[in-house]
Amino acid sequence: MDVRKALSTASLCLALGAVLHGQVEWRADTTTLQWGDRMTLTAEWLLTIEELANGVADSTAWPAWSDTTAGGFEILSSSAIDTLAAPEGSFGDVLLRKEWVVTSWDSGWVVLPPVAFGDMATEPILVEVIAPQLDADATPSPPRSIVAFEWTLWEQFLRHKNEWALLALLLLALVAGRWLWRHRPIPKHDQPCEGHIVPARPAHEVALEALKSLLKEERWTRGEAKEVQAQASLVLRRYLEQQFGLKAAERTTSEIQAMLGASSVPMNWHQRLVRALAQADVVKFAKGDLPPLTHKATLESYIEFVEHTSNVNVEPSSPRHDV
């Protein structure tokens, strides 16, 4: 009993007065609390201007507590360091103050050990933590219902701001990539040379390819005689234009016959060409019909004409205007 009484007396003295050690005053607003009750710890550090300028009380000189104190008290909150004028009559110039709000869930006597402030240390503080008194017939409270909670649009944005930032960076990278691709420098070998013209295929090659394809397909045997003769005569007319300079594509057969006399088309081919074009006109315009051998012979005549005249040199004629 004497020891317990002595501890109670010591704790009462600590609660009523401040513990002074050098330049630091360290106190608790109470030394008796129940589970979960709050206790405020206050530190006041008196300094001269020279000591403050020399960094005696910088951030490393204060207790480095995060969640709990050295004595196991749970830290609920802490204040920033407040700078005040020193009380009148004190030896210092500046008073620094900081507070911690703590609690404890361990019943019995709990000792807050000495706390270091720079090179100084405070006296320990003895605190009695009392367990709450429960009624003999007390029963646990029923579980509460779940409370619905909805985030606001701004709160949702803040919660996912990293994802939004990443998405914005990806979109920016995509836009920048497309812009760089469109404005990329073209290699010199891929740039078109000024004045460079890809030569066209010779007229006889184009004509022979088309005529031989028509001859091989034999589409007149499938009811396409009109189409075959129309395409064949158009190929021949374009060949006459490109090889001999005759404006034959839009001319009738009789007009072409009149033009052949003044052209460089070999004389021995004049009648054969006119006869073949006339037969094609019968099928195209008069809805006539030709035997399959005649279709084949007409195309073969066109092919023979192109092959025999592919090497004919034609002097470029001066441009003329058709009326």
Residue-wise pLDDT for 205-237, tens only, equals: 888 888 889 888 888 888 888 888 888 888 888
- Answer yes or no: is pLDDT of 9 > 50: no
What single-letter amino acid sits at 64?
A: A
Give the integer Cα–Cα distance in Å for 31 and 123. 14
Roughly what angle, to the nearest 10 degrees, separates helices 203-217 and 225-244? Answer: 170
- Say if 190 falls within a structural domain: no
Statement to judge: residues 210 and 125 lie in one domain: no
pLDDT digits (tens, 9 = 90+) for 271-285: 888 888 887 777 777
Statement to judge: residues 122 and 20 lie in one domain: yes
The arithmetic mean of pLDDT across residues 56-70, rounded, is: 85
- Say if 163 falls within a structural domain: no
Statement to judge: residues 126 and 6 lie in one domain: yes
**DSSP string over 150-166:** ---HHHHHHHTHHHHHH
- Say if 139 falls within a structural domain: no
Statement to judge: residues 123 and 211 lie in one domain: no
Statement to judge: residues 126 and 207 lie in one domain: no
- The CATH code of the domain that includes 31 is 2.60.40
Query: Which of 130, 148, 174 delimits the end of a domain?
Result: 130
pLDDT digits (tens, 9 = 90+) for 109-157: 888 888 888 888 888 888 888 887 777 777 777 887 787 778 888 888 8
- Say if 169 falls within a structural domain: no
Torsion of CA 4, 5, 9, 10, to 10 degrees: -30
- Say if 319 falls within a structural domain: no
What's the total number of domains in the chain?
Answer: 2
Statement to judge: residues 114 and 218 lie in one domain: no
Query: Which of 71, 100, 130 delimits the end of a domain?
Result: 130
Q: What is the residue range of 102's domain?
A: 2-130
- Say if 117 falls within a structural domain: yes
- Say if 138 falls within a structural domain: no
3-state secondary structure of 322: coil
**DSSP string over 180-201:** HHHTPPPPGGGSPPTT--PPPP
Phi/psi for 277 (5° steps) reads -70, -35
Query: Which of 72, 100, 130 delimits the end of a domain?
Result: 130
Reported pTM: 0.38
Torsion of CA 160, 165, 171, 176, to 10 degrees: 180
Token reading at 19: 């513990």
Statement to judge: residues 123 and 240 lie in one domain: no
- Say if 302 falls within a structural domain: yes
The region that residue 314 occupies, defined by phi over 0 for left and psi between -120 and 50 for alpha, beta otherwise, is beta
Give the integer Cα–Cα distance in Å for 309 and 60. 104
